[in-house]
Amino acid sequence: MTESGGMMRPLIEAIHSTPTKAVVYIAGGAAHAVGWLTSIPGASNTLLEAVIPYSRMSMIQLLGKIPAQFADLSTAEDMALVAYNRALKISKPGCPVLGVGFTGSLATNRLKQGDHRFHMCTRTSNRLWLSTVTLSKGLRTREEEEILSSQFLLKAISGASKAPVDFTPALNELDISTERESLFSEDEELEQLLNGQICFKVYDFTCEEQALSAERKIILPGSFNPLHEGHLQLMEVASSLLGDGYPCFELSAVNADKPPLTISQIKDRVKQFEMAGKTIIISNQPYFYKKAELFPGSAFVIGADTVVRLIDPKYYDGSYNRMIEVLLKCKNTGCTFIVGGRTVDGVFKVLEDIDIPDVLKDMFIPIPADKFRMDISSTELRKRGM
């Protein structure tokens, strides 16, 4: 490690000691920060992913749009939000995650008309932090500006991950540093989810020790109005069959056929899982092919009635080929479906009773009827007033 990197060692070790996992997107500077982070043992405790979208097209593809300016505070904020959503998707449920965006316009091999400056943004579940540093022009070499911007980026990561060590990079009296911070309430975060800014929110109430080290998510989607014993038993059986995974229930706040849930309704349903000591994920995707993108590599626990709908071409504009195409995309994310028996049109059916296309069969894993059978639904329970 270089001398400048060695100075950062205590700060980096402190960052690695926190439970926060980060996705870092940087362009136009601060590249040393990634090297320093990965050169100190424990980097896997911190980094989920680091990407340098340096070219114009790389940045456009990352953001999904053409930014008004590439070295701009709003671009850093957009990068941090994309990074935060990416961190949610590839981290373990309940793990605190951090999205980091950095974009800069530093010294180069030609005379720059504008300022030498860089912009940073960090995003967590309840905090957005933004900063711009404008450097004295001509005072430092490109390498010196790289080192300084990398130090500032590590300081930003340290602050967002609540690392127990502080560090202040050295500026001179002509440099200008500004920053601002916004804190989000739970209601504001749920509003962002409903608006599509963030892809999901995790409420981790689990106390199951074996789940803490699991990489794969075992996800039981539903409306949970109400959560009942059948849901809990189905998850227990599916988890025992798979033997390895993090059990999560998933509620989509957005429904394909009904108005979205209100924040009050979401919070009421979340309370059920708090009482049960189970993890619930609130998403904004009602369709399985979108859920597969949100939760790659997951095992979805569903009933035979849902399988019948999944493979019905009428839900794909009447096209059998479109149905195959969409479900193959789910398959390519590494997702599988764990199927419990359910009543379909008045008849109890298991997976073996359903004609699955050959190309999709290995996506579906049956739960034997002698292991689990659920004949009642949340709708029926509501009708009974239970």
Residue ranges of domains in the chain: 3-183, 187-383
Position 219 scores a pLDDT of 97
* Distance from the first to the final alpha carbon of the chain: 64
Place 82 in a pLDDT band, splitting at 50, 70 and 90: very high
Question: Within 10 A of 27 (CB to CB), how many other CB atoms are there?
Answer: 24
Q: For residue 378, is pLDDT > 70?
A: no
d(CA 298, CA 312): 22
Q: What are phi and psi of 283, to 5 degrees?
A: -115, 180
| Furthest C-alpha separation in the chain | 79
Query: Into which CATH architecture does domain 187-383 fall?
Result: 3-Layer(aba) Sandwich (3.40)
Q: For residue 210, is pLDDT > 70?
A: no
Q: For residue 386, is pLDDT > 70?
A: no
Q: CATH number of the domain at 3-183, please?
A: 3.90.950.20
**152, 169 Cβ separation under 8 angstroms:** yes
- The answer to whether the bond into 19 is cis (omega within 30° of 0) is no
Q: For residue 383, is pLDDT > 70?
A: no
Position 384 scores a pLDDT of 54
Q: Which residues pair with 341 in a beta bridge?
A: 373
Place 214 in a pLDDT band, splitting at 50, 70 and 90: confident
Mean pLDDT of the chain: 92
Place 8 in a pLDDT band, splitting at 50, 70 and 90: very high
The whole-model pTM stands at 0.92
Place 382 in a pLDDT band, splitting at 50, 70 and 90: very low
Segments of the chain assigned E as strands: 21-27, 47-51, 97-105, 116-123, 127-135, 176-183, 200-203, 217-221, 246-252, 280-283, 299-303, 336-340, 342-344, 347-349, 364-366
Segments of 184-329 assigned E as strands: 200-203, 217-221, 246-252, 280-283, 299-303
d(CA 6, CA 8): 5
**342, 350 Cβ separation under 8 angstroms:** no
Least confident of 99-103, 127-131, 267-271, 369-373: 369-373
d(CA 122, CA 165): 18
Q: For residue 2, is pLDDT > 70?
A: no
Backbone angle region of 89, left / alpha / beta, with phi > 0 → left and psi within -120 to 50 → alpha:
alpha
**363, 336 Cβ separation under 8 angstroms:** yes
Closest CA to 152 of 124, 180, 181, 121: 121
**131, 175 Cβ separation under 8 angstroms:** no
Tens of pLDDT along 344-375? Answer: 888 999 999 999 999 999 999 999 988 887 66
